[in-house]
Structure 1
Amino acid sequence: MTPPQAARPLTSANARRRLAAPTVAMLPRIADSLSFLYLDIVRIHQDDTGVCAEVTSEQRGTETVYIPTAALSCVLLGPGTSITARALTTFARNGTTVITAGSGGVRCYSAAVPESLTTLWLERQTRAWANDTHRLAIAQAMYDMRFGIGTAANGTSLDRLRGMEGQRVRAHYQLLARQYKIGRFRRSYDPSCWDSQDPVNLALSSANTCLYGIVHAAITALGCSPALGFVHNGNQQAFVYDIADLYKAELTIPLAFSLHASPNPEGEARRSFRHGLRLFQLLPRIVTDIQQLLDPDHTYEAPDPAEQMVDLWDPVSGSVPAGLNHGNQP
């Protein structure tokens, strides 16, 4: 007679399979994760030990590298990547978000979000977005992050903040125009007359698109909604535009002006942005900035994975445990 599952002998194959099958308590806290991993031109599959990536080259042939699935928050799959259903299932069971990205992670085409991903940040974003007072406070905080503490003092209207933003961005353009000796510059974006734009505008639009992809990936990995913006509104990318604006003056605008004499500003902007950007530093930075905006009092603590179960909403306490018969409660 076949022994029950619990009494089966622990062969090496069974041991490997058990190690590759995580329980809820084994899932890592987000603070302990290795965060983001970018892969391209590899084949990802699942074997008896875990998820591995096969890298093939003429010099070394085929090499196998095992991926630490339980320690990753997000995997970005670049061009030339193939992945099996079993490997995707393992990522999902370990709470890893899988994003299909462009070369270097500068696009975000689609995302597979695991069921175990906490909704804590999405709930905070939604509550703040739905409350005009909180939404204004976060919009002001975004202007502070861009232009310095105190720029958006309490009571400053958004109309006034938009005017201040326009003045500072225009001054930044003028400074860079003088630095690169290109004369007067005016920002324009006209998709219908794309080829007639000057090299700086072409490079800036191209670099911004790359930045939007990275920001979108970070927002998705955190579990927030790209559509619920605080400054921008009415678009599925509204929150992406909000967060991307925090970094344009530092990343994309100087890059665009440096390509003012390029014969191919779009292509060079994409390549320069991809090669010059330290992907593994920007993505965690974006996540940290979003968390600071949505949790300015720093009250967030990573939940215990063993406690990340579905709760029931309660208007008084916020939530009550699920999985209980509340008819038996006093």
Structure 2
Amino acid sequence: MTTYSTARRKLAAPTVAMLPRIGDSLSFLYLDIVRVQQDDTGVCAVVTTEQRGTELVYIPTAALSCVLLGPGTSITARAMTTLARHGTTVVVAGSGGVRAYAGMTPDSLSTKWLERQARAWAHDNERLAVAVRMYEQRFGAGTAPANASLAQLRGMEGQRLKAFYQLLARQHRIGRFRRTYDPASWDQQDPVNLALSSANTCLYGIVHATLLAMGCSPALGFVHSGNQQAFVYDIADLYKAELTIPLAFSLHDSPHPEQVARRGFRDGLRLFRLMPRIVADVQALLEPDQEPDQVDLEEQLVDLWDPVSGPLPGGINYAGDESR
């Protein structure tokens, strides 16, 4: 029995080769009123109902981009360790599905895209150029005026979103719509705002998970600033007009807009293929002149920085290097 248990644990232990690319990952899993724990087979959710008693539902942790833990959920340290090892983002969601993130990054990731992000973010002209590329990706090439400032881009974006809200409101015959987000009076908001906030939370979690899997920093935003999720909000804004805003307006008369929005968002992702798009879009924004490459969760050795020669291989003793 001991030999069998040991072999079972070895088979269940993940390896780097078993991990999928972030572009191939599933979107997200929402859990509430469950206990998430680790056993010899894997991570599972313990679900207890009056009709069926206690059941174990195993979670494909290596193939998930993020897990949303709703109200009434508890998770063990062993399960969190497995999620961290797989690079899965954990989103802790309160009432209404809106709260803070908890992100974990595998230590084997390359810093290639983090370095490109940091260089572009630290240079004012390049940071503005990235913001312009974001704007034109949303509204079309050439829509940003030459030498446009960030203030001009914000104003034009606000006008376009206002017009888009008005168009959808007319299509669904719901009268005047005003975007609001107030966690303090969550239950008093209209169904469209509830659905939009809920769907956006799922979108933020997926974008956050993708950025972490690429090795980028969620905090270094180009349009948003001053928040640990600034770059998450930048990238999520690229997709709201296609994915979350139309979905929210379609639920204007739903009695349970938050739950339906989460399910509808998941269904839309299957057609939208969001994960590969985020990877390609981030690469194009940060390095527009290069062909997008694949982002794999492969272990890489640490390089050494050299201002003259460029990166040098790590793990080598340079004591006899006469060029020092």
Alignment TM-score, normalising by the size of structure 2? 0.74
SS of structure 1 residue aligned to 2:80: helix
| Counterpart Cα distance in 1 of 2:13 and 2:302 | 21
| Counterpart Cα distance in 2 of 1:163 and 1:92 | 40
TM-superposed CA distance for 1:169, in Å, is 2.7
- Tell which deviates more after alignment, 103-112 or 115-124: 103-112
Give the equivalent residue in structure 1 for 2:29.
38
| Counterpart Cα distance in 1 of 2:234 and 2:198 | 15
**Is residue 2:231 matched to residue 1:243?**
no
- Tell which deviates more after alignment, 293-302 or 174-183: 174-183
In 1, are the aligned partners of 2:90 and 2:101 still within 8 Å (CA)?
no
> Which of 14, 17, 22 is matched with 1:26 structurally?
17
SS of structure 2 residue aligned to 1:36: strand
**Is residue 2:322 matched to residue 1:322?**
no
**Is residue 2:116 matched to residue 1:144?**
no
SS of structure 1 residue aligned to 2:232: helix
SS of structure 1 residue aligned to 2:91: strand
Give the equivalent residue in structure 1 for 2:69.
77
Q: Aligned Cα RMSD in Å?
A: 3.9
Q: Which runs of 5+ in 1 are unaligned?
A: 1-9
| Counterpart Cα distance in 2 of 1:16 and 1:60 | 28
Matches within 5 A, 1:40-79: 40=31, 41-79=33-71
**Is residue 2:78 matched to residue 1:86?**
yes
1:88-143 C-alpha deviation (Å, 9 max, x unpaired): 22233334333333579665442343434444433332222112232222211211
SS of structure 2 residue aligned to 1:305: coil
SS of structure 1 residue aligned to 2:285: helix
Q: Residue 304 and residue 111 in structure 1: after superposition, are their counterparts in 2 closer, same or farther (change >3 A)? A: closer
In 2, are the aligned partners of 1:98 and 1:113 still within 8 Å (CA)?
no
In 1, are the aligned partners of 2:20 and 2:62 still within 8 Å (CA)?
no
SS of structure 1 residue aligned to 2:153: helix
SS of structure 2 residue aligned to 1:326: coil
- Tell which deviates more after alignment, 236-245 or 123-132: 236-245
Q: Residue 36 and residue 101 in structure 1: after superposition, are their counterparts in 2 closer, same or farther (change >3 A)? A: farther
Give the equivalent residue in structure 2 for 1:300.
293
How many aligned residue pairs are there? 310
Letter in 2 for 1:60: R
> Which of 256, 259, 264 is matched with 1:276 structurally?
264
| Counterpart Cα distance in 2 of 1:152 and 1:301 | 30
**Is residue 2:101 matched to residue 1:113?**
no
SS of structure 1 residue aligned to 2:36: strand
> Which of 120, 126, 129 is matched with 1:128 structurally?
120
SS of structure 2 residue aligned to 1:74: strand
Alignment TM-score, normalising by the size of structure 1? 0.73
| Counterpart Cα distance in 1 of 2:7 and 2:92 | 32
Which protein, 1 or 2, shows the higher relative CO under an 8 Å CA cutoff with sep ≥ 6?
A: 2
Q: Residue 72 and residue 192 in structure 1: after superposition, are their counterparts in 2 closer, same or farther (change >3 A)? A: closer
TM-superposed CA distance for 1:38, in Å, is 0.7
TM-superposed CA distance for 1:318, in Å, is 4.5
In 2, are the aligned partners of 1:32 and 1:71 still within 8 Å (CA)?
no
1:241-283 C-alpha deviation (Å, 9 max, x unpaired): 32333334345544665677x6xx9x85534422432265476
Structure showing greater Rg: 1
In 2, are the aligned partners of 1:312 and 1:321 still within 8 Å (CA)?
yes
SS of structure 2 residue aligned to 1:220: helix
